[in-house]
């Protein structure tokens, strides 16, 4: 029987993915090496389906071994660029495979095997990539804890994951300061009730760490005495990693990702969303502690046989706002993926893009995700770089883009403020309060029809009840994203922010995200946040906090009046924006998300749940005076 022709073009591919999901994903699975190939796409185990039951593979083999076996061992696999240490290092696929196989030997010697958990608490160094892949090689389950976490947050995650081994470093390095990791690890293990059997610590010359006798091993010495080990085949449905969502307080929420669905989805996304082929160069300017780092620093590019860039630096300050463009030029990056916050920070410091200098001739596309991409940042990046700027929207839970302009399928016309259309595999819906699909232009809750595609979460670690309560109980047959938005008449999705970013002004439900988009168009505004604050007359009114562009130095009253007029003209008087306050900076997580919830809580006089991922807690004290409006709104 002749094989059916594959669909061509976005609409045809998208329809095929929803109408024939089993056939679609079994075909996609052909891009992955299997020790036991899948014969069944999924089962209907509740609460979430499992992909490729009965099949077996190894994720590390797919990321490294098969590329070396195919004769591409000399190709660069990992480029490590660290402006904070003045280091640039390139590791080929053959070298990285040897590093990973030997470190897997270290873990084997410590008793780590299939299903054991390993906590990784490392900065942006090659050892972090080696550690993750070594766990995958053995079928062990890694849980990367962001290196910026304090000791208590690390202790909570150690107690929840109960690792056999913890991997860390003597220190991390940020612009202008050294962050001692080992003392934080020691403090965390004193606080934690779980006791790992061993810790392996990578020594860095910037800080000398004391090792605990009988528990701690020096990384380099351990590797020197280890023999390389091969790959352990695991079930496609076995867990690959646990990733705790950023900002978790109380009991952690550990997102579980499987091996088979994850490998298939990421390999598919590299080709079809990012249009990256083997041998090309991809840079995700994120951190391995976040989902973007898992998916698109480590696994996605290596599954695709591409070269991945690991950057230990910042968008500004290491040394200046031209750092990203220097990395793209030096390493001939084809596609860059970062957060809108990073581009806003660069634009704030270099609004005329003088530091782009001689340009970035290798760059084909810029992908932005992690927070809403305001139209002004989109337009600035498009003008400065002269390449497609692709807004894409997804979550830690989904693991790969839910909505994007899929450049590897068909480049659709872009619309500022929209991540374009749903990615094949995702049945995205905007639902009203009773679960009906909203008409175009009508805002509601963004949800995804079940079953979720491969690569998405398979559960919450040891907490199925919370999985159902958090994501599945609100709408029957749908996964609730927690974001609000709408579709336009052309089927483009607009994600306006978390559902609780909708405020009620005198009975009118208004999106603060929509207001932010308007505020951000002011030529002197570098970035902004709009939140709802209490008002004794109207219940809530919006407050805009704005950061000026470098060199603007506007009179605050004049700038405030202009921003108010801008919102009034584009949204209408119903928006009721009256207060605009200029601040030096906004509170953010280390991954660049603006802490709107914390600011709302401060404005309401409630106890503030400060996320452990906050970049600098002092910012909350700086902006507190701006968060308390007059007792009576002034019309």
* Residue 367 belongs to a domain: no
Residues 439 and 544 in one domain: no
Percent of the chain at pLDDT exceeding 70: 94
Query: Which structural domain, as residue segments, surrounds residue 153?
Result: 10-313+392-484
pLDDT of residue 178: 93
Tens digit of each residue's pLDDT (9 = 90 or more) over 297-312:
999 999 999 999 999 9
Residues 121 and 167 in one domain: yes
**φ, ψ for residue 281 (rounded to 5)?**
-120, 125
Residues 404 and 531 in one domain: no
Nearest CA to 249 among 498, 589, 534?
A: 589
If you average pLDDT over residues 135-148, what whole number do you get? 94
Residues 40 and 157 in one domain: yes
pLDDT of residue 147: 84
Q: Of all residues in the chain, what percent are helix, strand and coil, respectively (each to 5)?
A: 35, 25, 45
Q: CA of 66: how far to CAs of 31, 62, 85, 152, 294, in Å? A: 12, 6, 33, 40, 20
pLDDT of residue 343: 94
* Residue 341 belongs to a domain: no
**φ, ψ for residue 519 (rounded to 5)?**
-60, -40
Residues 43 and 126 in one domain: yes
Residues 206 and 149 in one domain: yes
**φ, ψ for residue 509 (rounded to 5)?**
-85, 120
Residues 435 and 542 in one domain: no
* Residue 1 belongs to a domain: no
Q: What is the CATH number of the domain that holds 620?
A: 3.30.300.30
If you average pLDDT over residues 265-276, what whole number do you get? 98
pLDDT of residue 248: 36
Q: How confident is the model at residue 574 (pLDDT cuts 50, 70, 90)?
A: low
Q: How confident is the model at residue 630 (pLDDT cuts 50, 70, 90)?
A: low
**φ, ψ for residue 7 (rounded to 5)?**
-65, 150
* Residue 476 belongs to a domain: yes
pLDDT of residue 502: 67
pLDDT of residue 234: 98
Nearest CA to 74 among 89, 96, 52, 46?
A: 96
- Is the pLDDT confidence value at 205 over 90? yes
Q: What is the CATH number of the domain that holds 474?
A: 3.40.50.12780
Last residue of a domain, one of 452, 484, 516: 484
Residues 98 and 141 in one domain: yes
Give the DSSP letter string of 168-184: EESEEEETTEEEEHHHH
In angstroms, the CA 488 to CA 180 distance is 49
Q: How confident is the model at residue 383 (pLDDT cuts 50, 70, 90)?
A: very high
* Residue 207 belongs to a domain: yes
Tens digit of each residue's pLDDT (9 = 90 or more) over 529-571:
998 888 766 677 889 999 999 888 899 999 999 999 998 877 7
Q: How confident is the model at residue 578 (pLDDT cuts 50, 70, 90)?
A: confident
* Residue 92 belongs to a domain: yes
Residues 455 and 577 in one domain: no
**φ, ψ for residue 518 (rounded to 5)?**
-75, -45
Residues 523 and 478 in one domain: no
Last residue of a domain, one of 454, 484, 514: 484
Residues 231 and 105 in one domain: yes
Task: Read off the pTM.
Answer: 0.85
pLDDT of residue 507: 53
Per the structure, the count of domains in the chain is: 2
Residues 431 and 563 in one domain: no
- Is the pLDDT confidence value at 629 over 70? no
- Is the pLDDT confidence value at 286 over 50? yes
Percent of the chain at pLDDT exceeding 90: 75
Per-residue DSSP letter, 573: G
Q: CA of 193: how far to CAs of 7, 122, 187, 440, in Å? A: 54, 21, 12, 52
Last residue of a domain, one of 431, 454, 484: 484
The mean predicted confidence, pLDDT, of the chain is 91
* Residue 410 belongs to a domain: yes
pLDDT of residue 249: 42
* Residue 348 belongs to a domain: no
pLDDT of residue 44: 85
pLDDT of residue 634: 36
Q: How confident is the model at residue 509 (pLDDT cuts 50, 70, 90)?
A: low
Give the residue, 51 or 150, on which the prediction is more confident: 51
The answer to whether the CB of 202 falls within 8 A of the CB of 170 is yes
pLDDT of residue 526: 93
- Is the pLDDT confidence value at 6 over 70? no
pLDDT of residue 506: 54
Question: How large is the angle between the packed helices 21-28 and 260-272, nearest 10 degrees?
Answer: 80
- Is the pLDDT confidence value at 601 over 60? yes
Tens digit of each residue's pLDDT (9 = 90 or more) over 68-93:
999 999 999 999 999 999 999 999 99
């Amino acid at each position: 029987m002749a094989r059916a022709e594959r669909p061509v073009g976005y609409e045809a591919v998208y329809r095929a993915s929803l109408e024939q999901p089993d056939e679609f994903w079994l075909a996609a699975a052909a891009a992955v090496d299997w020790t036991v190939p899948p014969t069944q796409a999924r089962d209907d185990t509740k609460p979430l389906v499992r992909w490729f039951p009965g099949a077996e593979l190894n994720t590390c083999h797919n990321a490294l071994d098969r590329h070396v076996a195919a004769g591409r061992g000399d190709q660069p696999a990992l480029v490590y660029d660290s402006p904070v240490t003045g280091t640039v290092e390139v590791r080929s696929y053959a070298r990285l495979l040897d590093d990973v196989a030997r470190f897997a030997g270290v873990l084997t010697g410590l008793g780590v095997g299939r299903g054991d958990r390993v906590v990784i608490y490392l900065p942006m160094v090659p050892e972090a990539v080696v550690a993750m892949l070594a766990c995958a090689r053995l079928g062990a389950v890694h849980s990367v804890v962001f290196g910026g976490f304090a000791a208590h947050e690390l202790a909570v995650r150690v107690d929840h994951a109960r690792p056999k081994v913890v991997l860390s470093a003597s220190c991390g390095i940020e612009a202008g300061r050294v962050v001692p990791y080992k003392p934080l690890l020691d403090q965390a293990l004193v606080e934690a009730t779980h006791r790992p059997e061993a810790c392996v610590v990578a020594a860095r010359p910037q800080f000398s760490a004391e090792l605990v006798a009988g528990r701690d091993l020096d990384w380099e010495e351990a590797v020197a005495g280890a023999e390389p080990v091969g790959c352990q085949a695991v079930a496609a449905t076995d867990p690959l990693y646990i990733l705790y969502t950023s900002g978790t307080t109380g009991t952690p929420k550990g997102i579980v990702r499987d091996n088979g669905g994850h490998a298939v989805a990421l390999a598919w996304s590299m080709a079809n969303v990012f249009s990256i082929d083997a041998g090309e160069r991809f840079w995700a300017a994120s951190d391995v502690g976040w989902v973007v780092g898992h998916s698109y620093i480590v696994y996605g590019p290596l599954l695709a046989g591409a070269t991945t860039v690991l950057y230990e630096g910042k968008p500004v300050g290491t040394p200046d706002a031209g750092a990203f463009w220097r990395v793209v030029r030096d390493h001939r990056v084809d596609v860059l993926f970062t957060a809108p916050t990073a581009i806003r920070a660069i634009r704030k410091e270099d609004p005329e893009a003088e530091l782009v200098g001689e340009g970035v001739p290798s760059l084909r596309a810029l992908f932005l995700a992690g927070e809403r991409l305001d139209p002004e940042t989109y337009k600035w990046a498009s003008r400065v770089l002269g390449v497609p700027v692709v807004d894409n929207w997804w979550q830690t839970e989904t693991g790969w883009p839910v909505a994007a302009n899929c450049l590897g399928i068909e480049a659709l016309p872009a619309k500022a403020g929209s991540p374009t259309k749903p990615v094949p595999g995702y049945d995205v819906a905007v639902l009203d309060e009773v679960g009906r699909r909203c008409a175009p232009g009508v805002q509601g809750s963004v949800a995804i029809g079940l079953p979720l595609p491969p690569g998405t979460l398979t559960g919450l670690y040891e907490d199925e009840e919370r999985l159902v309560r958090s994501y599945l109980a609100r709408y029957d047959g749908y996964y609730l994203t927690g974001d609000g938005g709408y579709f336009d008449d052309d089927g483009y999705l607009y994600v306006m922010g978390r559902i609780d970013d909708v405020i009620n002004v005198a009975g009118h439900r208004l999106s603060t995200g929509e207001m932010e988009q308007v505020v951000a168009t002011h030529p002197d505004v570098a970035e902004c946040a709009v939140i709802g604050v209490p008002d004794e007359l109207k219940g809530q009114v919006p407050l805009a906090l704005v950061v000026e562009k470098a060199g603007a130095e506007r009179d605050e009253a004049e700038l405030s009046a202009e921003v108010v007029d801008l919102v009034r003209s584009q949204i209408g008087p119903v928006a009721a924006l009256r207060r605009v306050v200029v601040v030096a900076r906004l509170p953010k997580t280390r991954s660049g998300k603006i802490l709107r919830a914390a600011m709302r809580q401060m404005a309401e006089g409630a106890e503030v749940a400060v996320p452990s991922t906050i970049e600098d807690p002092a910012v909350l004290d700086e902006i507190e005076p701006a968060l308390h409006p007059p007792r009576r709104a002034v019309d």
